């Protein structure tokens, strides 16, 4: 589902953010990307949701090399990738329902379909009763649940999460991790970049270790 | 909701959310277009005046007393051949004297006992394209030395001064008009920039969930076009109101325009073009702002 082969990436003249990265995450797999700050976790995720382009190498999503994809194709690829961030990235001027339903606005789907699917997603994350609330009225954990609902509302095959528990206390982190596992159990490929060694330790999931922009361990699954 | 209704709704929502910025922008653009309207109004009325004066332009070819019928017809032929004249009338000495006497009115007695002093003439009027000093002067030069011609007159001095004045005014109006229009474009561009800045978070999130460039940019374009159209319409409306209330009460009695000449407001197609220019500037302003400040 996600493959990278000999990927190099740098930001301008700076030292490379990623060097010769080769990794693979299979369909419906759950994997972590771990490493100290500056190891390249966020850069790796940014490549996957096409916010950055690599200097060389191949980035394959759904079997398609997206490293050289045309700009006009990027939005359509992003609709097949759910993304969750540490800072939630919710719009404070829109209700929970509107934040989640925004995905359908962008896709031009009918209101009926949007409402139906938005309700399903909010039910999955346990926030159906907060649909009319505004994000700033919710706790951090609830806001992250809304962000997850938005990321999965249109059933994307891939879910990427960049430090999804970075702003949450351990109990809430556990809830978010359980939720990500539930999403994964529905067949979604989940890749989580994190510092949270407790969460990783509990999970028994594969860990892709990054150090100084290079894969130190776990890039390819061992069968 | 259909896509067609979605974008205007979002644009109106954004404009309503920043009502003060919207109001200031429309107001400023209106002032700019009021200026443009005033310049257009002055220019338009000057053109009307020039047209009216042009209709009355005559080339008087005074004929020598011994001008034969053959020479007269040759002169008339030269005038006709030029493709500049719309009509040529022959005034005999007797007819010319009759007109002169009529003009003198009560003072016509001065002519009593005097031999007819007025020469016969050919009077040419001009087609619209030839109603300017250069064309008329050129024709005058062609006929002035023909046999049978005594003199040629067309009021050269004042005609040239007037058309020079009209030409300079038009040029000045054009330059000021362009500057004013550019100012409106910059104002709209800055407002859109503020709008982009205020919504940068929303734009970022929309991009992350797969919004296309068009989806993100379209509401901004609608906002820019609306700001331009509304500002231009308001400015033109104020210009019209000022024209209706000020011209009969203030300007006309002040003698800046005479009742004989009259002044008119801009014709509807011109008003439409000015308002559409507002919309066009809104588009350009938005384009420039998005190009500089929105890398989607």
Chain B CB within 8 Å of residue A106 CB: yes
Q: With contact defined as beta carbons under 8 Å apart, do B84 and B90 qualify?
A: no
* Cα distance between residue B117 and residue B96, in whole Å: 10
Instruction: List CB contacts (< 8 A) between A90 and chain B.
Output: 205
Q: If we measure between CA atoms, which residue out of B63, B65, B66, B68 comes closest to residue B88?
A: B63
Under an 8 A CB cutoff, do A91 and B212 touch? no
Question: Is B258 in the same domain as B127?
Answer: no
Q: Which residue segment(s) compose the domain that B144 sits in?
A: 58-153
Instruction: List CB contacts (< 8 A) between A107 and chain B.
Output: 210
* Cα distance between residue B213 and residue B208, in whole Å: 12
Q: How close are the terminal C-alpha atoms of chain A, in Å?
A: 17
Question: Is B116 in the same domain as B247?
Answer: no
Instruction: List CB contacts (< 8 A) between B207 and chain A.
Output: 75, 78
How many separate domains does chain B show?
2
Under an 8 A CB cutoff, do A106 and B211 touch? yes
Task: Give B235's pLDDT tier (boundaries 50, 70, 90).
Answer: very high
* Cα distance between residue B101 and residue B124, in whole Å: 22
Chain B CB within 8 Å of residue A89 CB: yes
pLDDT value, residue B259: 45
Question: Is B183 in the same domain as B268?
Answer: yes
Question: Is B49 in the same domain as B67?
Answer: no
Of B204, B209, B213, the CB nearest to A103: B209
Instruction: List CB contacts (< 8 A) between A102 and chain B.
Output: 205-206, 209
* Cα distance between residue B62 and residue B218, in whole Å: 69
Angle A176-A178-A182 from CA coordinates, rounded to 5°: 115
Chain B CB within 8 Å of residue A83 CB: yes
Question: Is B112 in the same domain as B204?
Answer: no
> Rounded to a whole number, what is the distance in Å from the CA of A198 to chain B's nearest CA?
29
> Rounded to a whole number, what is the distance in Å from the CA of B191 to chain A's nearest CA?
21
Q: With contact defined as beta carbons under 8 Å apart, do A33 and A192 qualify?
A: yes
Angle A203-A204-A210 from CA coordinates, rounded to 5°: 90
Residues 6+ apart with CB under 8 A from A124: A149, A152, A179, A182, A183
The answer on pLDDT for B258 being more than 60 is no
Q: For A68-82, B36-50, B62-76, which range has the lowest pLDDT when averaged over its residues?
A: B36-50
Q: With contact defined as beta carbons under 8 Å apart, do B195 and B24 qualify?
A: no
Minimum CA–CA partner of B215 in chain A: A106
> Rounded to a whole number, what is the distance in Å from the CA of B189 to chain A's nearest CA?
25
Question: Is B129 in the same domain as B188?
Answer: no
Under an 8 A CB cutoff, do B210 and A83 touch? no
Instruction: List CB contacts (< 8 A) between A77 and chain B.
Output: 210
Q: How far is CA B34 from the centre of its chain?
A: 15
pLDDT value, residue A67: 85
pLDDT value, residue B296: 47
Strands (E), A124-222: 158-162, 189-194, 206-211, 214-217
CA distances from A162 to A144, A190, B273 (A): 12, 11, 53
Task: Give B295's pLDDT tier (boundaries 50, 70, 90).
Answer: low
The answer on pLDDT for B157 being more than 80 is no
Q: How far is CA B183 from the centre of its chain?
A: 21
Question: Is B174 in the same domain as B41?
Answer: yes
DSSP A136: G
Q: What's the token pair of residue B258? A: 């005479």
* Cα distance between residue B64 and residue B86, in whole Å: 24
Minimum CA–CA partner of B10 in chain A: A105
> Rounded to a whole number, what is the distance in Å from the CA of B222 to chain A's nearest CA?
17
Residues 6+ apart with CB under 8 A from A151: A82, A83, A84, A159, A161
Q: What's the token pair of residue B2? A: 């259909």
The overall longest dimension of chain A from CA atoms, in Å, is 50
Of residues B190 and B276, which shows the higher confidence score?
Answer: B276
At A155, phi and psi to the nearest 5?
Answer: 55, 55
Chain B CB within 8 Å of residue A152 CB: no
Question: Is B260 in the same domain as B178?
Answer: yes
Question: Is B119 in the same domain as B177?
Answer: no
Helix (H) or strand (E) holding B67: none
Of residues B50 and B151, which shows the higher confidence score?
Answer: B151
Chain A CB within 8 Å of residue B6 CB: yes
CATH of the domain at B143: 3.30.70.3040
| Mean pLDDT score of chain B | 84
Instruction: List CB contacts (< 8 A) between B202 and chain A.
Output: 91
* Cα distance between residue B115 and residue B57, in whole Å: 29
**Residue of B208, B216, B218, B219 best to disrupt the A interface, most CBs of A under 10 A:** B208
- Angle, helices B200-208 vs B213-246, to 10°: value is 140
* Domain's final residue, options B153, B177, B199: B153
> Rounded to a whole number, what is the distance in Å from the CA of B203 to chain A's nearest CA?
10
HSE-up (13 A, CA, CB side) for residue A205: 30
HSE-up (13 A, CA, CB side) for residue A190: 27
Instruction: Find the DSSP H helices in B3-155.
Output: 3-17, 19-55, 69-81, 93-104, 133-144
Average pLDDT over residues B26-40: 89
Average pLDDT over residues B267-271: 92
Chain A CB within 8 Å of residue B212 CB: yes
Under an 8 A CB cutoff, do A106 and B210 touch? yes
10 Å Cβ neighbour count for B250? 11
- pLDDT less than 70: residues of chain A: 222-223
Instruction: List CB contacts (< 8 A) between A105 and chain B.
Output: 6
* Domain's final residue, options B121, B153, B185: B153
* Domain's final residue, options B99, B134, B153: B153
Question: Is B125 in the same domain as B96?
Answer: yes
Question: Is B113 in the same domain as B169?
Answer: no
Print the SS3 string covering A73-109.
HHHHHHCCEEEEECCCCCCCCCCHHHHHHHHHHHHCC
Chain B CB within 8 Å of residue A103 CB: yes
Question: Is B119 in the same domain as B237?
Answer: no
């Amino acid at each position: 589902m996600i493959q990278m082969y000999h990927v190099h990436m740098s930001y301008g003249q700076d030292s490379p953010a990623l060097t010769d990265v080769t990794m693979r995450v299979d369909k419906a797999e759950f994997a972590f990307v771990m490493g100290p700050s500056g190891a390249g976790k966020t850069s790796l995720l940014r490549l996957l949701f096409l916010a950055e382009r690599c200097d060389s190498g191949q980035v394959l999503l759904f079997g398609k090399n997206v490293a050289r994809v045309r700009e006009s194709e990027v939005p359509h690829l992003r609709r097949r990738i759910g993304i969750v961030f540490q800072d939630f990235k919710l719009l404070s001027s829109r209700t929970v329902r509107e934040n989640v339903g925004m995905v359908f606005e962008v896709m031009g789907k009918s209101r009926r379909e949007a409402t139906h699917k938005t309700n399903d997603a909010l039910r999955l994350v346990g926030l159906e009763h907060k649909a009319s609330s505004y994000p700033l009225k919710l706790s951090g954990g609830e806001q992250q649940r809304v962000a997850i609902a938005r990321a999965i509302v249109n059933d994307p095959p891939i879910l990427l999460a960049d430090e999804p528990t970075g702003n949450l206390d351990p109990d809430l982190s556990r809830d978010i991790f359980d939720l990500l596992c539930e999403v994964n159990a529905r067949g979604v490929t989940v890749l989580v970049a994190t510092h949270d060694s407790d969460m990783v330790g509990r999970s028994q999931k594969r860990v892709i270790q990054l150090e100084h922009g290079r894969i130190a361990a776990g890039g390819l699954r061992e069968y | 909701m259909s896509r067609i209704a979605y974008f205007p709704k979002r644009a109106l929502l954004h404009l309503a959310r920043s009502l003060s910025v919207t109001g200031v922008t429309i107001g400023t653009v209106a002032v700019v277009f009021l200026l443009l309207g005033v310049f257009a109004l002055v220019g338009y009325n000057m053109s009307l005046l020039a047209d009216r004066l042009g209709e009355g332009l005559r080339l008087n070819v005074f004929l020598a007393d011994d001008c034969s019928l053959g020479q007269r017809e040759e002169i008339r032929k030269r005038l006709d051949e030029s493709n500049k004249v719309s009509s040529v009338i022959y005034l005999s000495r007797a007819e010319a004297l009759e007109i002169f006497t009529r003009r003198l009115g009560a003072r016509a007695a001065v002519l009593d006992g005097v031999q007819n002093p007025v020469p016969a003439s050919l009077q040419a009027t001009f087609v619209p394209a030839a109603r300017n000093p250069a064309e008329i002067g050129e024709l005058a030069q062609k006929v002035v030395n023909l046999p049978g011609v005594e003199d040629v007159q067309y009021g050269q001095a004042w005609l040239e001064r007037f058309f020079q004045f009209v030409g300079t005014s038009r040029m000045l109006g054009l330059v000021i008009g362009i500057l004013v229009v550019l100012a409106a474009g910059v104002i709209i561009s800055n407002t859109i920039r503020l709008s982009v800045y205020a919504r940068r978070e929303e734009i970022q999130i929309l991009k992350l969930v797969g919004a296309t460039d068009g989806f993100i940019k379209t509401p901004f374009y609608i906002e820019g076009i609306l700001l331009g159209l509304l500002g231009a319409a308001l400015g033109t409306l104020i210009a019209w109101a000022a024209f209706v209330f000020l011209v009969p009460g203030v300007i006309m009695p002040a003698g800046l325009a005479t009742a004989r000449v009259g002044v008119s407001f801009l014709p509807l197609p011109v008003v439409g073009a000015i308002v559409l220019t507002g919309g066009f500037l809104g588009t350009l302003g938005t384009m420039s702002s998005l190009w500089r400040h929105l890398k989607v």
